A and B are shown apart, each in its own frame.
Chain A
Amino acid sequence: AQSVAQPEDQVNVAEGNPLTVKCTYSVSGNPYLFWYVQYPNRGLQFLLKYITGDNLVKGSYGFEAEFNKSQTSFHLKKPSALVSDSALYFCAVRDGGATNKLIFGTGTLLAVQP
């Protein structure tokens, strides 16, 4: 079965510093990977996805993610964090089964300090 893991419950970073939110995946076949962000009391917003091609994927709000096949990772990155980036971040993978549902990680809370 497809799965993703987010090893960190929380990531703390100072404003202006680069940030990384980690995600590793386990799939059979080609991985179809996604990142979502959730602000307090809101639904999930799509940030970016990896389907195929360039290993560096660019998304919304200046975020990007690096796909690494050998390390089975899909880490979310941003060169310079903003306080407004503070939110809950979810990594997800397509199941590929009969319903092709999205399987989410447990989420990582990003806290950016001013």
Chain B
Amino acid sequence: ETGVTQTPRHLVMGMTNKKSLKCEQHLGHNAMYWYKQSAKKPLELMFVYNFKEQTENNSVPSRFSPECPNSSHLFLHLHTLQPEDSALYLCASSQEGLGRQAMNTEAFFGQGTRLTVV
């Protein structure tokens, strides 16, 4: 148990559906991340939030829409997805600070949501 919980664990959705992935962290961290992990491809960073503000959008298509209502919760809203969006979606959190403190903190990951788009 890493202190980062993702729901649901598995999701099957059609290309016209709208669904949301949820991530919750109980670690008091102030930074949260969405990563995409596809088979035989490197981990792709999608979004970064620091203190509830989006600080990075890694050229992610608009059919993925993140939301961070507070430092403990992160959502990924999905609509009109494509089959190639099928992947494991990982949420992570870390304690961010300034300078060296920010550099030496590890991130904690949830178990992921296995998404299948049909």
Contact = CB atoms under 8 A, between A and B. Distances in A.
- Interface size range of chain B in the complex: 20 to 34
Interface of B: 2, 4, 6, 33, 42-43, 45, 48, 50, 55-56, 88, 90, 92, 94, 96, 102-104, 106-112, 114
> 9 closest pairs, A vs B, by CB?
A43-B109, A44-B109, A51-B104, A32-B103, A104-B43, A43-B111, A99-B56, A46-B106, A99-B55
Interface in A56-114: 90, 94, 96, 98-102, 104-107
B39 to A, nearest CB: 11
Given A42-B111, A42-B112, A101-B33, A34 B48 contact: no
Contacts of A49: 104, 106
A44 B4 CA distance: 11
Interface secondary structure of A, over-half rule: loop
